Amino acid sequence: MNLKVFNKNFTTKSIFVCAGILILMVILGLVYGTKSRDFKTFYDIGVFARLKMNIYAASPTTGFFVFYMPFFSILMIPWTFFPERYSSFVFFNLNFIILIILFIVLLGDFKKNIDSIEKKTIAILIILLMLFDFIWLGIRIGQVDLIVCCLIILGIRLFYEEKFGISAFCLALSGFKVVPLIFLFFVLFSKKIKYMLFYLGFVIFFALLPFVYFGIDEGFLQYKNLYTISISQKLEINNFDLNWHNRNQSLWKLFGNFLRSLNINNNEILIIIMIILMLIILIYTYNLINKINDNERETIYLKGSVFIMLMLLFSPDTCRVHHLTNLLLPYFIIVSMSYKGKVEIVLVFFIIVANILTGKYAIFRSFYGYSYTIIMITVLIYFYYKLNLIKRNNLLRMK
């Protein structure tokens, strides 16, 4: 990967910038990184896994549970060989490094649209304005969403470079949070048999890893515990109440509240509706992508961003603000294209205004609840619009 985005020569100014970032990371790490709430939960889960206990028991430190795939706890074991305070500090700064790498990689990929250091600076500022709340919260509490975001973007990028093995590995590994398994359809829609086999092989490997580590009986028990804790907590599926203090309400809650207004309180009906709606959108997506032969990097990123939006929209748990960190790639595409199109400028303006109106001291509380669901639906429609343009241009070239 080419990480040389701003200058080919490492100048004195670059050294000062890097030193400043490093000092900032250390200071913030000491203030926030040594007491990251969610990382403490992950750390305890790693301890449970190391001792081969129930990884879905409540963390003794925070009282929280983890709903991730069992192999995630095995990945957390190495962190537990060091005191939690030190591991938390390192994890905090790892998130910062991942964020910087993502910015550098994406700016490099969109160098045709963002061709000057001034434009790149503006792009970074705009994207941070759009995503600062989500990114900072995720880093501060020690969440894993930037890691998931990085794995997904690398998976899509490496697919473009036809490095199918490592691409499939990244996308399969991101599935420890379950919802990124939506990228199974990204893989299937590629119609590349080798790629499908790689992806399914890695998914099966990660799914079977707990049986190798915990043993057959204990492995089954861990999966049973995951199912039990998911049902007992009901995630967000059955929680239809509209609380204005939530920064985002999921599509599940939107439909749940609508059904409740019709005096329909059957949760199974909601699940059926959501599955049917997702299948309809996936069929449309397949029919659209199937007719696009353009394998440009921009087109591949557009396709990948569609699945990011579907992942966020159809997750019952997207009212957690930090999950929206995964909007990094879609927002990057919109900002980069705004240098060429009026539609993108309007969309950037809409997202920024929505962020301001639904901020911590928002004036328009009625808009507050479902603002990011509305944004995601709008962005998804925009991506379908762009992909349809590409399909139309392909057909015109063929004629």
> What pLDDT, on a 0 to 100 scale, did the predictor assign at position 249?
65
Q: Indicate the DSSP class of residue 2.
A: -
- What are the pLDDT digits (tens) for 160-198? 999 999 999 999 999 999 889 999 999 999 999 999 999
Q: Is 223:68 a contact under the CB 8 Å cutoff?
A: no
Burial of 148 (0-12, 13-18, 19+ CB in 10 A): buried
**364: pLDDT strictly greater than 50:** no
180 CA to centre of own chain: 8
Q: At 160, which amino acid appears?
A: Y
From residue 325, alpha-carbon distances to 95, 225, 340, 379, 394 in Å are 12, 28, 25, 15, 33
| Cβ atoms within 10 Å of 358's Cβ, excluding its own | 22
| Cβ atoms within 10 Å of 246's Cβ, excluding its own | 18
**365: pLDDT strictly greater than 50:** no
**361: pLDDT strictly greater than 80:** no
For the CA atoms of 205, 211, 214, 220, the dihedral, rounded to the nearest 10 degrees, stands at: 130
Average pLDDT over residues 45-68: 90
> What pLDDT, on a 0 to 100 scale, did the predictor assign at position 328?
95
**267: pLDDT strictly greater than 80:** no
Dist. CA 219–CA 216, nearest whole Å:
5
Mean pLDDT, the chain, rounded, equals 84
| Cβ atoms within 10 Å of 207's Cβ, excluding its own | 16
Average pLDDT over residues 230-249: 51
Q: Which residue has the higher pLDDT, 18 or 219?
A: 219
- What are the pLDDT digits (tens) for 80-111? 999 988 898 889 889 989 999 999 999 999 98
Smallest Cα–Cα separation from 169: which of 141, 205, 222, 144?
205
- What are the pLDDT digits (tens) for 319-330? 567 888 999 999
Percentage of the chain surpassing pLDDT 70? 82
> What pLDDT, on a 0 to 100 scale, did the predictor assign at position 284?
95
Structure token pair of residue 372: 């990011």
**Cβ-based neighbours of 200, under 8 Å, separated by 6 or more:** none
